[in-house]
Structure 1
């Protein structure tokens, strides 16, 4: 799938160069605020909040008309989310009996899901005319994402609970709570997550001239994954990626 998508993007680039349209090549990078959205029906997918991450990459803008262009990109994008507080313990706990699938012990800790993708967006871009030198633009399109790596980073310590209402697990014979357990760990979850992702993306920004045919770029964009990231949705629920990105870049006019 990724080969087909990259081939299509490459054909767009060659088509733009061959037909003599305006061509701009650029780089960009910025701050991403990703999150994981999931159903509240599954304790593994609910209550995730946004985290701060980075994104960077390159692009080629292929002019169709003076205002309209197609822009394929190749970006490194950090996705994921953060969950704090009482949540399921998904890793085996030494000294505790295994539970049936779908049942969990609980702890109070911080859990950061980190999913890093190589993404290939293809955008349709519209540039407005402006009385000044700065030109606003809008863009929108689709993207394909290939998962490079996936981890969860957990931190904190807590006693063990038998439910999310913080009912403590009591030890016989005196019925005392389990002493606090450290949850500091980094776990590879690549085998639990789908490698391929796709979704919608769009936003707008400003083109600020910098010399002949070159521009500084401010780009504000949102994206939404359309495919759930989990392989086993019956057990692990369904979550989708999404983010808000502010990036800054520079484009060189290579053909006009």
Structure 2
């Protein structure tokens, strides 16, 4: 966590320095997300199925040079995963359904370092950086039964941080198409005293954006 905060502080400082050199460009973005989760313990990791969700947000782009820019943002994104099986127990309630979903709604703050290259009618961009996300809502659903997650009692954490990777193409008129991948570093469940268990977010995204 200390290393992440140090990185964010450094990036923020560079952004302020860049602001003095170039005007900031603001943007909006939205698209489809395909989140999933993985659980690991004792060196063994198991991934669960992805589900379909969405994201929407805004960005601010600070140019450091003709090639390099720093792009912090603010995103609302739905993460989680899909489980398949004969039964699914959520808070000891068995629904008998053969599938279930776990759904988290996050406010996410990514800070990306991007490389930009002019190509034809626009530019190609790619890069990545850290993110921090805060869960504003969460629930599990199976067989038409929905149960809200109680963060104080159910062992889930609101905070999540990790790294994300981003790439796409922006036209000179401002429209862009992009894709990204977010990989959670922290576990979204509280530390277990008896066994080391990690439950982490993963999400693939694809969407459209516009820079003003």
**TM-score category by the smaller chain?**
0.7 to 0.9
Pair 1:193 & 2:194 matched:
no
Look up the match of 1:127: 116
Question: Between Structure 1 and Structure 2, which shows a larger proportion of strand residues?
Answer: 2
- Mapped contact 1:47–1:83 kept (Cα < 8 A): no
- Higher radius of gyration, 1 or 2: 1
2:179 aligned to which of 211, 220, 237: 220
Distance across 1 between alignment mates of 2:64 and 2:51: 37
Look up the match of 1:174: none
Q: Secondary structure at the match of 1:149?
A: strand
Q: Deviations over 1:72-128 (max 9, x none)?
A: 0000011001112224524335xxxxxxxxxxx894532110011100000001011
Q: Deviations over 1:11-59 (max 9, x none)?
A: 6655433x13142101000000000111388xxx956200000001001
Where do 1:69-148 residues align within 5 Å? 69-87=69-87, 89-92=89-92, 107-130=96-119, 132-148=120-136
How high is the TM-score relative to the length of structure 2? 0.83
Q: Give the Å deviation of 1:217.
A: 1.2
Name structure 1 gaps, 5 residues minimum. 94-104, 156-183
Change over 3 Å in CA distance of 1:251–1:237 after alignment to 2: same
Distance across 1 between alignment mates of 2:56 and 2:177: 13
Pair 1:238 & 2:201 matched:
no
Look up the match of 1:27: 28
Q: Give the Å deviation of 1:226.
A: 0.3
Where do 1:9-20 residues align within 5 Å? 14-17=16-19, 19-20=20-21
Change over 3 Å in CA distance of 1:217–1:133 after alignment to 2: same
Distance across 1 between alignment mates of 2:101 and 2:30: 23
How high is the TM-score relative to the length of structure 1? 0.70
Distance across 2 between alignment mates of 1:135 and 1:186: 45
Look up the match of 2:166: 203
Q: Secondary structure at the match of 2:22?
A: coil
- Mapped contact 1:36–1:239 kept (Cα < 8 A): yes
Name structure 2 gaps, 5 residues minimum. none
